Amino acid sequence: MDCLFLGAILSISSTTIIMRALDELGVRTKKFATLVVGVLIVQDLVAILLLVMLSTFAVSQQFAGMELLTQVLKLLFFLILWFLAGIFFVPTFLKQTRNLLNDETMLIVSIALCLVMVLLAVEVGFSAALGAFIMGSILGETTQAERIEGLLKPVKNLFAAVFFISVGMLIDPSILKGYAIPILIITGVIIIGMTVTFALGALLGGQSLKNSIQAGMSLAQIGEFSFIIAALGISLKVTSAFLYPIAVAASTFTTFITPFLIKNSTSLYNSIEKILPQRWVNGLNRYSSSSQQLSAYSDWKELLHAYGINSVIHTVLIVAIIFLSRNFIQPFVTGAFGNYLAGSIPAAFITLVLMIPFIWALSIRRIKKTAYSSLWLNRKLNRGPLIAIEIAKDSIGSNTCRHCDQYILFALAGIYYRCRNNGYSHWSL
């Protein structure tokens, strides 16, 4: 169990420390830095799944595949729902209240929005860090992003200082002395292992050799999520007590080394390029350029991307309406009517009215008409896949509506029940 938790600890880099190092070295706008930021975002999301998986395994001593899959789908569902709500409501709110919010009020509102999203994330069952990250991403896309960033910078610096000081205070010199060899081995594994694996992953993804090496050396570090995973093992009483201070010590060492690794990554690339045979370098450059060409936009890619985004967004909204209706609208309406069958009629009607715009957008609305027409007219072989896409789109729309069947059935039963009491015959019904 110690090895399992240690593997999870070593797999998550520190977003706080790496972003600070990139800013201080002035390389935040470099191409490899963009790749590093993307990897850090994915790592933060994967860390939540690791917490779920490790908690389940620690308690049951077996991997619950269905529970993990459920958590993944739940995470994706709420991420999309939160981002959609944030994109539509938060910018509109900030735009409408722009003249009313001075600097002090804007600071309070920004922090309050982050804390509200933190509460929602914790209530759903995710980490507080995920909620703050989501709201920060939403605020970063508003027209007030630059103003909010300037106001929050002193607050960020304050808590960053508290974070680094608190981490340093967790180091026990006696434990460092007793576990010096494991700490050195783990530190070496972090630096060498992360650099090599991230560089290979970037190469396979079509990045250049230089960007891959720079990204790999930038990510050779562990941090705050690693501490959370280590603390989880201790709280569940399934790992040894020395695992947490060892993780903190390894993080401290790699924190000091990270700026030097980023700064010297270009020098390492130049040395590797001189050592490698020229045909290998040429082959890697051809692979990178060909991967970039494959990423170029085509009509098919444009169409499939648009249909995929449209299907995911409107499916999530329809499912959210169904959950909202089942948990709030139907109980409220049936309570107002005092009869479950009679209340199901307006509940079903309200649900269907709310769903109609999204069902139309999911099943009927045409997207990317120019690309669709080009594919349909240019080659007859394209028509079969295009028809299949339309059938799949209609199928998704119909399947998302099946959850309303019980409301419709209850509504029909209520109508039948009322009509019989009013004297209508069975055949007329």
Segment 226-273, tens digit of pLDDT: 887 887 888 788 888 788 888 888 888 888 888 888 888 888 888 888
Over its C-alpha atoms, the chain yields an Rg (Å, rounded) of 27
DSSP-based three-state secondary structure for 135: helix
According to the model, what pLDDT value does residue 93 have? 83
**pTM of the complete model:** 0.63
Segment 154-198, tens digit of pLDDT: 888 888 788 777 766 766 777 777 788 888 899 999 999 989 999
According to the model, what pLDDT value does residue 427 have? 42
In this structure, what token pair is assigned to residue 292? Answer: 């970039």
> Per residue, what are the HEC states of 208-236?
CHHHHHHHHHHCCCCCHHHHHHHHHHHHC
Q: In this structure, what DSSP letter does residue 342 have?
A: H
Residues of the chain with pLDDT under 50: 296, 424-429
Neighbours of 35 (CB within 10 A): 22
CB-based contacts of 315: which residues, under 8 Å, 6+ apart?
362, 396, 400
According to the model, what pLDDT value does residue 240 have? 82
* CB-CB contact of 1 with 239 (8 Å): yes
According to the model, what pLDDT value does residue 424 have? 45
* CB-CB contact of 47 with 229 (8 Å): yes
Q: In this structure, what DSSP letter does residue 328 have?
A: I
Q: How far apart are CA 325 and CA 39, in angstroms?
A: 37
Segment 109-133, tens digit of pLDDT: 889 988 988 888 888 777 677 778 7
DSSP-based three-state secondary structure for 127: coil
* CB-CB contact of 206 with 291 (8 Å): yes
Q: How far apart are CA 260 and CA 72, in angstroms?
A: 36
Max Cα–Cα distance, the chain, nearest Å? 95
Neighbours of 414 (CB within 10 A): 20
Q: How far apart are CA 391 and CA 398, in angstroms?
A: 11
Q: How far apart are CA 20 and CA 18, in angstroms?
A: 5
* CB-CB contact of 250 with 25 (8 Å): no
Q: In this structure, what DSSP letter does residue 381 have?
A: G
DSSP string computed for 37-81: HHHHHHHHHHHHHHHHHHHHHHHHSS--HHHHHHHHHHHHHHHHH
Q: Taking phi first (over 0 means left), then psi (-120 to 50 degrees means alpha), and beta for anything else, what does residue 26 get?
A: left
DSSP-based three-state secondary structure for 121: helix
Among candidates 198, 249, 245, which has minimal Cα distance to 220?
198
Q: How far apart are CA 32 and CA 208, in angstroms?
A: 10
